[in-house]
Amino acid sequence: MSTSSLTSNHLEALKLVKDWSSGLIVVQSAAIGVIGTSLKQPPTGMYGVLTASLLTSLISSIVVGAVWVVGAIPYIAQELPSLLQSNPKFSIYAQRGGKKGDRTLGTMCEIQIFFFVSSLILFSLFVFFAPPGSE
């Protein structure tokens, strides 16, 4: 396989990761909008804690996706020629770069999905325990 086709494959893989991360960001941004419009008054007590936890999880996932994951992709893409020369079978997920250069792209994706799944669970609880009259 030529270096050119290897580069194309790795670039396509990076685009897929960017699209995946961006898709999660869009869904989570919409969830924040749904939460904001569904609250008729400021939440209190345990429901307030649940709401704050949900928003924290959503925002954390957005930051990880937008800053860490998507931010690492251009750095990895520009390093592709030298990475391919040293190891043509390298994994994009094992590469470090961007704002959090101490973490691999794979680890950053795992952190984003952790917050995303946590947000799904918290959102389910948010809907289930919504106070009467907030539908």
Chain segment 52-85, per-residue pLDDT in tens: 999 999 999 999 999 999 999 999 999 998 888 8
Chain segment 13-54, per-residue pLDDT in tens: 999 999 999 999 999 999 999 999 999 889 999 999 999 999
Output the six-digit token pair for 20.
């995946």
DSSP 69: I
Can you state the percent helix, strand and coil of the chain, rounding each to 5? Answer: 80, 0, 20
| Cβ-contact 111, 68 below 8 angstroms | yes
- Amino acid 37 reads T
| Cβ-contact 127, 102 below 8 angstroms | no
